[in-house]
Amino acid sequence: MHRLAVPADLRDIRAIEIAAGEDFRMVGLGRVADDPPITAADFDPYLDRGDAWVTVADGGHVIAYLLLDTLDTALHVEQVTVHPAQARRGHGAALIALACATAVSRGLPAITLTTFREVPWNAPYYARLGFVEVPVADRGPELSGRIAAEAEHRWPWPRVAMARKADSPLPSWPAIEPLESARLRLEPLSVDHADGMATALSDAALYEFTGGSAPTVAELVRRYTAQCLGGSPDGAQRWLNWIIVPRDRARPVGYVQASIERAGDAVVADIAWVVCPAAQRMGIASEAAAAMTDWLREAGVERFTASILPDHYASMGVARRLGLHATSAVVDGEAVWES
């Protein structure tokens, strides 16, 4: 839930700023972490203008915040920060959507912000939300002044000004991306994976619970050709599939997948995972599925479901580690789990 901030929120906002700043140490920007958090004197003008918003969790505590200003003829995102413990759950994107709605309500055509060009959760993240870099020649005097003032800090990483139209919707879904975890690479599915996956899926033990038999290369080519279309013909579903490749191996050992659709106002992903028997009992399914769900949350998925056969205890364990729980619903003999 979003609401306008009140003076009592400053304590939580300062704590969020301190916690989020620590991530910058990993990329050589310890000075960001060392900067003192916002003071009451700096916070009060945002309160007075109605330009401070917070995201509140179910328990009532603040987990993210948004500070706005007006520069030139655009609404400027002065700060949007999510507590690291709540990252990758779509809170940042939701606050950007709120900023867009605020700009439209004020008759402002665009949203601007300044950020680090090469920090992964800065400019690359905003680009996925539809922001583009503003060339120097196109910056208004106030935005130019803001960038110039930031340059005086002599940051070791370059800063950039970005903008997006306020009335254009946030991208409905980002393009699938390669993902990585501690031990794994998750490669976006392509037809070229058919040969390696035919080997990975050849063990008859895989079909003990599901029935059926191992697919041939030709069958996988047909299947992957359809899946690589990326969604249902009516656009109601989005299909995302990744092939799991351990960093220390050349060949795949399984896959993770998500079928995404809207359920009312929520974006829901039905997820699944398969790992070949030779690579089981190593935590690979859990690690790959966690990398996928982390990315999906960042992209705006709010809820997850999975269908698991009775007595498939390994898959139940993966689901629990992802934060899912069993429901009373049963579809085609499979129990429905949800987050």
Say if residue 98 is in the same domain as residue 213: no
Say if residue 49 is in the same domain as residue 151: yes
Residue 189 pLDDT level (bands cut at 50, 70, 90): very high
Pairing mode of beta strands 62-71, 52-56: antiparallel
172 domain-assigned: no
**φ, ψ (nearest 5 deg) of residue 133:** -70, 140
How many Cα neighbours within 13 Å face the side chain of 187? Answer: 18
How many structural domains is the chain composed of?
Answer: 2
Mean pLDDT rounded to a whole number for the chain:
91
Q: Which of 100-109, 261-270, 320-329 has the lowest mean pLDDT?
A: 261-270
Pairing mode of beta strands 184-188, 266-275: unpaired
pLDDT tens digit string along 283-312?
Answer: 999 999 999 999 999 888 889 999 999 889
Say if residue 146 is in the same domain as residue 215: no
170 domain-assigned: no
7 domain-assigned: yes
43 domain-assigned: yes
Residue 90 pLDDT level (bands cut at 50, 70, 90): confident
Say if residue 232 is in the same domain as residue 148: no
Say if residue 14 is in the same domain as residue 85: yes
CB-CB neighbours of 30 under 10 Å: 13
217 domain-assigned: yes
Amino acid 259: pLDDT: 92
Q: Which of 76-90, 124-138, 159-173, 241-255 has the lowest mean pLDDT?
A: 159-173
CATH code where residue 298 lies: 3.40.630.30
Say if residue 18 is in the same domain as residue 73: yes
213 domain-assigned: yes
For residue 96, give both structure tokens.
Answer: 């950007």
Assess contact for 111 and 74: CB atoms under 8 A.
yes
Say if residue 309 is in the same domain as residue 200: yes
Q: Which helix (DSSP H) or strand (DSSP E) does residue 110 occupy? A: strand 110-116
Say if residue 213 is in the same domain as residue 152: no
Domain-terminating residue out of 109, 135, 165: 165
Structural domain that includes position 334: 179-338
Say if residue 82 is in the same domain as residue 137: yes
**Which residue in the block uniquely carries the two structure tokens 């300062």?**
14
pLDDT tens digit string along 197-219?
Answer: 999 999 998 888 777 899 999 99
pLDDT tens digit string along 104-147?
Answer: 999 999 999 999 998 988 998 898 788 999 999 999 999 999 99
Say if residue 105 is in the same domain as residue 21: yes
Sheet with 74-82, strands from edge to edge, namely: 2-4, 52-56, 62-71, 74-82, 110-116, 159-165, 132-133
Say if residue 211 is in the same domain as residue 315: yes
202 domain-assigned: yes
pLDDT tens digit string along 71-83?
Answer: 999 999 999 999 9
Average pLDDT over residues 188-197: 94
Pairing mode of beta strands 303-308, 325-331: unpaired
CA atoms of 68 and 62, how far apart (whole Å): 17
Domain-terminating residue out of 109, 130, 165: 165
Domain-terminating residue out of 105, 139, 165: 165
**φ, ψ (nearest 5 deg) of residue 209:** -95, -40
73 domain-assigned: yes
Assess contact for 260 and 292: CB atoms under 8 A.
no
Based on the number of CB atoms within 10 Å of its own CB, is 120 exposed (0-12), middle (13-18) or buried (19 or more)?
exposed
Say if residue 62 is in the same domain as residue 128: yes
